[in-house]
Structure 1
Amino acid sequence: MTLFQLFFLVFIFLVTSIIGVVTGSNSLITVPVMLEFGISPTDAIATNMFALIFMSIGGTIPFLKGDILKQRQDIPLLSILTVIGSILGALLVLIIPAETMPLLISVFMIAVLIFSIINKNKGVEKQEKSSPLMEKIGYFLTFLLGVYGGFFSGGYVTTLTATFIGCLNMTFVEAVAITKVLNIFSSLIATAIFMSQGLVDYQLGIILGITMFFGAILGAKWALKMSNLWLKRIFMITVIILAIRNIIGWF
């Protein structure tokens, strides 16, 4: 890898980490760029996942000062479901090509967009507690998305954010904060499996990870200053762009 390519990767990872704290879907941009620079698909996914650990930690730190993370009593359950799913997902990377996954996640993104348009107040205003059925659906989707998060991660946080808002009646800022915590577990588990297979480029991963750490801190501080309405607008715009991009790229 040339010095120019390294600087370009650092720039891409910095920008996506700042914005991705709110929107997610970093890997839908970062992994393809790594592939363009000649990094193999499995190595790109593994090294990107390693860097995401730093981003998730950086994105969580600003939220620790407030009460957002203290108000949810189901974070331990969501974490356990994420860990189990991530283990299964990381094992799938070793046997299933990941190139076709962005198409599936794009379909889900379009569904998220339609749901957000129909339910204007979801995620913007504080909602009543979800029904037992919707909670069960939300927990089940958390597990399934944990599998995907360990497998590829591109669009994982985006769809998880939508699940928390749609099924567990979280506001956008709550969902953004909690998905950062869960992504720490998801990335750690997946990376541990990748490391055991010798797939992580540690030198590149540390450089990109430090970049994402500081980018995520900036992004999280920015998110805390914004209203849920603006977070929703940014989220929806990103979903539209990424869904169209991935569908066109797949075809």
Structure 2
Amino acid sequence: MTPIELIFLVAIFFFTSIIGVATGSNSLITVPAMLEFNIDPARAIATNMFALIFMSIGGTIPFLKTDVLKRPDLPLLSVLTLIGSVLGALLVIIIPADTMPLLISIFMIAVTVFSVLNKNKGLETQEKPSPTSIKIGYTLIFALGVYGGFFSGGYVTTLTASFIGLFSMTFVEAIATSKVLNIFSSTIATLIFMSQGLVDYQLGIILGVTMFFGAMIGAKVVMKMSNLWLRRIFLVVVVFLAVRNLWQWLN
């Protein structure tokens, strides 16, 4: 990779990490960008996952000064994510890569439909969710952990929607919690990728540091925005990604 190509890649990772704190789905931009620079697909996924650890930590730090992460079920959510991520990372060598655009589109369309039908959810603190909703939520968090360990593209976006719909979180709470879980998901997946020799450490550290500072900026911006504006931005990005990935799959 030439110095000019590296500069372009760093710029892409920096700006997507700023926006991605609120919207997720960084990997839907960053991994294809790495492929454009002729990086091997498996190595691109693994190195991107390595960089996401830095981004998730950077995106979590500003929220530690607030009360949005004070949840008694955070340890359980983390454990479910850890187990799911191990299974997901092991699927990288099994599931054909050309199925991913369709799978991602399905996730994004589901999130869009949910957001449109539940336009008031996530805007303010809701009543405590029902036991059934919580059980479904825990099951979905585990299933999403599998997907997140496998690829991560669209993982945080769907995770955010799940927290809003099933755990009655506001957008800010859901965004903050998803960043914490993504630390576990990315770390476990990366460890497995490292054991397979798939991570490009030199490139990963450069991109990781870039995403760390980008995510810190993004998290500070998120804390200054209202839940209504976070919902608007979230929905616009989700619709765009759904159309983009469906078009990619059709072609």
TM norm. shorter chain > 0.5: yes
Partner of 1:37: 37
* 1:85 equivalent in structure 2: 84
Aligned to 1:62: 62
What amino acid does structure 2 have at the position aligned with 1:42? A
Q: Which amino acid aligns with 2:15?
A: V
- Whether contact under 8 Å (1:98, 1:152) holds in the other structure is no
CA RMSD in angstroms comes to: 0.8
Which amino acid counterpart does residue 30 of structure 2 have in structure 1? T
Which shows bigger deviation, 143-152 or 119-128?
Answer: 119-128
Partner of 1:232: 231
- Distance in 1 separating the partners of 2:183 and 2:101: 21
How far residue 114 of structure 1 moved from its aligned partner, in angstroms, is 1.4
Conserved in 2, the CA contact under 8 Å of 1:17 and 1:212?
yes
Give the Cα separation in 1 of the matches to 2:136 and 2:49.
27
Q: What are the Cα deviations for residues 16-52 of structure 1, in whole angstroms up to 9, with x where unaligned?
A: 0000000000000100111111111100000000000
Partner letter of residue 13 of structure 2?
F
Gaps of 5+ in 2: none
- After the TM superposition, which segments of 4 or more aligned residues of structure 1 sit over 6 Å from their partners? none
Instruction: Indicate the SS of the match to 1:209.
Output: helix
Query: Which consecutive unaligned segments of at least 5 residues does structure 1 have?
Result: none
Question: How high is the sequence identity, in percent, across the aligned residues?
Answer: 75
Q: Which of 123-132 and 43-52 deviates more?
A: 123-132
What amino acid sits opposite 2:237 in the alignment?
T
Work out the CA distance in 2 between the residues paired with 1:13 and 1:212. 6
* Residue deviations 1:80-135 (CA, integer Å, cap 9, x gap): 00000000000111222333223212112112111111112101121111111111
Question: How many residue pairs end up in the alignment?
Answer: 250
Structure 2 counterpart of 1:230, which letter?
Answer: W
1:167 equivalent in structure 2: 166
Given that residues 24 and 156 in structure 2 are in contact (C-alpha distance below 8 angstroms), is that contact kept between their aligned partners in structure 1?
A: yes
Q: Tell me if the contact between 2:101 and 2:248 (Cα under 8 Å) persists in the aligned partners.
A: no
Give the partner amino acid of 1:237: V
Deviation at 1:226, TM superposition (A): 0.4
C-alpha distance in 2 between matches for 1:96 and 1:23: 26
Contact 2:107/2:154 (<8 A) preserved:
no
- CA deviations on 1:197-222 (whole Å, 9 max, x unpaired) are 00000000000000000000000000
Q: Give the secondary structure class of the aligned counterpart of 2:107.
A: helix
- Please give the alpha-carbon distance, in whole angstroms, between the structure 2 residues aligned to 1:228 and 1:15: 21
Match of 1:208 in 2: 207
Give the letter aligned to residue 48 of structure 1.
N
| Alignment partners' CA distance in 2, 1:232 and 1:221 | 17
2:75 equivalent in structure 1: 76
Equivalent-residue separation in structure 1 for 2:197 and 2:115 (angstroms): 41
TM-score, normalised on structure 1? 0.98
| 1:11 matched residue in structure 2 | 11
Report which stretch shifted further, 208-217 or 89-98: 89-98
CA displacement, residues 120-166 of structure 1 (integer Å, 9 cap, x when unaligned): 21011211111111111111010000000000000000000001101
